[in-house]
């Protein structure tokens, strides 16, 4: 623990965040927490954000940030299969083999990462780095405390839950239940909500102010279309279907980093006022100015929309990790799932024609799901663990002993 009685100035507590730009959500969560830590603890904290795939992994993993959107789009079936095969407590033999082969490729990079970036606390905001990092850290006589911030909302993959870490912060009750199912002790977990950047809440203008700032029509109902950071899903076709209906509304479409999508959208002859954006840094303004959000089921976007009180039409989801988000929003009546561009356009038309109270009720339900304090609660948790003493390694169970069989090196049982 930091000695608070000493008058010597303490060196800043070093917090190392492990993430990767596979989608926009992991970076968004880490940056949100770092901003809160810096606002709350100032110079007393020093944070580093490392893209483990990009900076410390061999090919082809180092290209994961570029490959991820392509894989999700073109290899949906393989992704779904791999996701479900690995998402269980007892891994089938094939998965054991895969995890071990992957581990061999990562080993040197991770060892180098922890040597080059000594820290007082390690925080993972990515499911793939929890177990791999713990295996690497196991070789040291002592290691910094390790905290996992789960950034999937509901269908949280087994890889998020490693029993050896000190703390696991989960966004929702269903994610907590999954942690229990994967053998995490209740006292190790806490439901905090998903961290949303502190700037988000403070930049939420009133609707008229946001629209004036954005140059949007202040009378028309506004539909905001987003496909995550990468502009994924059939956004182009959805926008075209809505356009064909010639509805009394305006559209704001965020193509994210998908330049091709942005270019295609800029060549459409729009029947209503339409604003096309690339990657935006003013999402709170866009959400504050909008009335309806059409989005894929990204956890970051959903959590932000809840804070902005924005009812959602979920048009798409990444199989596996985003599946549960759809039912979460539907069950709380904060939005609906509409599969395919035709269906989305029909729902938009229906929502525009029904009584405005219906839209207001959905907006209120979305707001009820928001956890604006999540980022501050998480920052406090991390500060607490950053001030804890390093964790000594437990004695290694002997080869072949019952303990070794029960609690193998990967932190979860690899075989049934």
d(CA 21, CA 78): 20
Binding residue count for ligand UDP, defined by CB under 6 A:
17
Q: Pairing mode, if any, of strands 167-170 and 142-143?
A: unpaired
| Least Å from the CB of residue 121 to ligand UDP | 24
CB of 214 to ligand UDP, least distance (A): 14
With the C-alpha atoms ordered 221, 303, 347, 283, is the resulting torsion angle positive or negative?
Answer: positive
Is 229 near ligand UDP (CB under 6 A)? yes
Least Å distance, CB 210 to ligand UDP, is 15
In the complex, least distance from residue 199 CB atom to ligand UDP, rounded to whole angstroms: 11
Judge whether 225 and 239 are in contact, CB under 8 Å: yes
Complex with ligand UDP: residue 121 or 150, whichever CB lies closer: 150
Write down the least CB distance from residue 269 to ligand UDP, Å.
24
For ligand UDP, give the closer residue by CB, 144 or 229.
229
Q: In angstroms, what is the minimal distance from the CB of 195 to ligand UDP?
A: 10
- Least CB distance from residue 98 to ligand UDP, whole Å? 23
Measured from the CB atom, the residue of 314 and 382 that comes closer to ligand UDP is: 314
Cβ partners under 8 Å of residue 6, min gap 6: none
Find, among 211, 279, 282, 199, the residue nearest to 250 by Cα.
211
Phi and psi torsions of 312, nearest 5° = -120, 140
Q: Does 25 interact with ligand UDP (rule: CB under 6 A)?
A: yes
Q: Is 228 in the site for ligand UDP (CB under 6 A)?
A: yes
Q: Among 99, 169, 239, 254, indicate the residue that binds ligand UDP (CB under 6 A).
A: 254
Restricting to residues 303-342, which ones interact with ligand UDP according to CB under 6 A? 304
The residue among 199 and 332 lying less far from ligand UDP, judged by its C-beta, is 199
91, 301, 315, 325: residue in contact with ligand UDP (rule CB under 6 A): 301
Task: Based on the shown chain and the rule CB under 6 A, indicate whether residue 279 belongs to the binding site for ligand UDP.
Answer: yes
Binding-site member from 174, 256, 320, 411 for ligand UDP (CB under 6 A):
256
Question: Which CB atom, from 127 or from 229, has the smaller least distance to ligand UDP?
Answer: 229
Selected from 44, 102, 245, 280, the binder of ligand UDP by CB under 6 A is 280
| Residue 126 to residue 149: CA distance in whole angstroms | 8
| CA neighbor of 261 nearest in space, from 228, 291, 293, 222 | 228
Comparing CB distances to ligand UDP, the nearer of 96 and 203 is 203
Please give the residue whose beta carbon sits closest to ligand UDP in the complex. 298
Q: Report, in Å, the least distance between residue 77 CB and ligand UDP.
A: 19
The CB-of-24 to ligand UDP minimum distance in angstroms stands at 3
Number of H helices, E strands in the chain: 18, 14
Judged by CB under 6 A, the stretch of 20-28, 87-95, 204-212, 240-248 that binds ligand UDP is 20-28
Helices (H), 273-340: 283-289, 299-308, 323-331
Six-digit token string for 94: 């094939």
Query: What is the footprint of ligand UDP within residues 346-405 (CB under 6 A)?
Result: none
C-alpha–C-alpha distance, residues 194 and 32, integer Å = 10
Give me 91's structure tokens.
């891994």
21 binds ligand UDP (CB under 6 A): no
Contacts 24+ apart (CB under 8 A), 357-364: 359/291, 359/292, 359/311, 361/333, 362/311, 362/333, 362/334, 362/335, 363/309, 363/310, 363/311, 364/309
- Figure out which of the listed residues 24, 145, 195, 411 binds ligand UDP, where binding follows CB under 6 A: 24
For residues 389 and 1, is the Cβ–Cβ distance under 8 A? Answer: yes
Cα distance between residue 98 and residue 119, in whole Å: 30
Binding flag, residue 283, ligand UDP (CB under 6 A): yes
Tokens for 227? 């496909």
What residues make contact with ligand UDP under the rule CB under 6 A?
23-25, 28, 228-230, 254, 256, 279-280, 283, 298-301, 304
């Amino acid at each position: 623990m930091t000695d608070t009685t000493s008058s010597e100035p303490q060196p800043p507590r070093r917090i190392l965040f492990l993430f990767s730009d596979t989608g926009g959500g992991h970076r968004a969560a880490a940056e949100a927490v770092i901003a809160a830590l810096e606002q709350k603890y100032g110079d007393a904290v020093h944070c580093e954000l490392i893209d483990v795939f990009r900076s410390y992994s061999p090919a082809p993993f180092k290209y994961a940030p570029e490959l991820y959107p392509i894989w999700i789009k073109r290899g949906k079936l393989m992704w779904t299969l791999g996701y479900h095969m690995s998402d269980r407590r007892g891994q089938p033999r094939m998965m054991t083999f895969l995890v071990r082969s992957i581990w061999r490729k990562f080993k040197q990079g991770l060892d180098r990462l922890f040597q080059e970036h000594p820290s007082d606390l390690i925080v993972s905001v990515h499911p793939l780095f929890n177990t791999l990092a713990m295996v690497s850290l196991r070789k040291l006589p002592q290691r910094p405390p390790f905290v996992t911030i789960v950034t999937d909302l509901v269908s949280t993959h087994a890889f998020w839950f490693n029993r050896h870490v000190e703390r696991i912060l989960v966004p929702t009750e269903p994610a907590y239940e999954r942690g229990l199912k994967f053998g995490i002790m209740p006292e190790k977990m806490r439901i905090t909500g998903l961290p949303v950047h502190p700037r988000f809440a403070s930049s939420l203008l009133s609707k008229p102010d946001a629209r004036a700032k954005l140059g949007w029509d202040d009378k028309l109902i506004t539909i905001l279309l987003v496909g995550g950071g990468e502009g994924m899903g059939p956004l182009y076709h959805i926008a075209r279907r809505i356009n064909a209906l010639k509805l009394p509304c305006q559209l704001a479409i965020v193509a994210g980093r998908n330049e091709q999508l942005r270019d295609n959208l800029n060549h459409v002859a729009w029947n209503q006022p339409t604003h096309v954006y690339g990657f935006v840094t003013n999402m709170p303004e866009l959400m504050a100015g909008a009335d309806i959000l059409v989005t894929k089921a990204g956890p970051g976007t959903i959590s932000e929309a809840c804070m902005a009180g924005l009812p959602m039409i979920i048009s798409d989801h990444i199989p596996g990790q985003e599946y549960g988000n759809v039912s979460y929003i539907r069950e709380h009546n904060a939005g609906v799932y509409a599969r395919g561009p035709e269906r989305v356009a029909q729902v938009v038309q229906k929502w525009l024609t029904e009584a405005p109270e219906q839209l207001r009720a959905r907006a209120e339900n979305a707001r009820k799901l928001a956890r604006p304090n999540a980022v501050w609660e998480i920052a406090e948790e991390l500060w607490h663990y950053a001030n804890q003493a390093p964790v000594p390694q437990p004695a290694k169970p002997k080869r072949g002993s019952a303990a070794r069989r029960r609690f193998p090196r990967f932190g979860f049982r690899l075989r049934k």
